[in-house]
Amino acid sequence: MIKSLAKSFFEKAGYKIIKVSKQHEGSPPAGNTSSSVAKDSFVHDIAQNPLSARLHLQYAFDASKKGNHYLAYAELKTALSLGAEREHAEKHIPIFIDKLPDPKYLGHNLYRRNKVLASEITERGAKSAMSILDVGGGQGHLAAFLPDDYNYCLVEPSVNGISGTNLPFPDHSFDYVVSCHVLEHIPEAKRNLFLDQLLSKSQKGVVLLNPFHVEGTHVEERSNLFIEITGAQWAKEHLECTFPKLVGKMQPNE
């Protein structure tokens, strides 16, 4: 029922719903091939030595040259968090900040997620600077939403080579570990292990931001609709892994 209503709504609004052909799934994005090779090289090298501040710093400068300014700033902060020479690295912080695009161009969804997450973190820290480990943080957009004096470290295996399932950091080495829209992409059988790992790296706690399963909201039908419309892997994982469930009852409007 939801699928037919949604289709009817979009078609009346003038939109045509098409299913993405499988032959296009996973196709490499258009762009400079040499830039992709350089990125893959850094990701590979960092995966072999994930705590190398030198590699993260080099990656930050390379990302900046390529115009990926959010990643450049996140990797610069990551390098500092891992012990990069402060006098050399810190002088680039205002330069990298000045190059950051206006956040409004991130789009409503991405902007809102990072804004809410950053607000939650800063409220917990009050006026004191804190160290943040961002697990599954994509291009590291969150770094740009946090105060400049916060220590920030990005974990995203496909972006900067650090494993999100085998965190290479000492226990209790960050004030907070955060994870935004990651838990719903982890199979149920592995979620406790994943959460235990996040907790082990934090001193004060873990902050999660993700959708939850709500009874009576046609979760599977909605997930199938998103898969049909987008053909996206993330939509398939929503269905395959299922949304996390909160302990106790939750009303659809909560």
pLDDT in tens, 43-55: 999 999 999 999 9
**140, 168 Cβ separation under 8 angstroms:** no
Specify the pLDDT at position 18. 46
Does any domain span residue 24? no
- What share of the chain has pLDDT > 70, as a percent? 67
For position 49, which CATH number holds? 3.40.50
Does any domain span residue 253? no
Write out the two tokens for 118: 């950053």
DSSP 164: S
- From first CA to last CA, the distance across the chain in angstroms is 23
In whole angstroms, how far apart are CA 142 and each of 9, 43, 216, 231? 34, 20, 33, 27
Q: Which of 145-159, 178-192, 196-210 bottoms out in mean pLDDT, i.e. has the lowest?
A: 178-192
Question: Which residue type does 65 have?
Answer: K
pTM for the structure as a whole: 0.76
Total domains in the chain come to: 1
DSSP 128: S
Does any domain span residue 187? yes
Does any domain span residue 134? yes
Specify the pLDDT at position 185. 65
Q: Which of 19-23, 176-180, 197-201 bottoms out in mean pLDDT, i.e. has the lowest?
A: 19-23
Q: How confident is the model at residue 193 (pLDDT cuts 50, 70, 90)?
A: confident
Mean pLDDT of the chain: 79
Specify the pLDDT at position 187. 76
Task: Give Cβ neighbours of residue 28 (< 8 Å, ≥ 6 apart).
Answer: 36
Does any domain span residue 68? yes
Nearest to 144 by CA among 71, 57, 91: 71
Question: Which residues span the domain enclosing 58?
Answer: 33-210
Does any domain span residue 136? yes
Does any domain span residue 252? no
Specify the pLDDT at position 10. 43
Consecutive H or E run containing 174: strand 174-180
Does any domain span residue 119? yes
pLDDT in tens, 5-35: 445 544 544 444 444 444 333 333 444 555 5
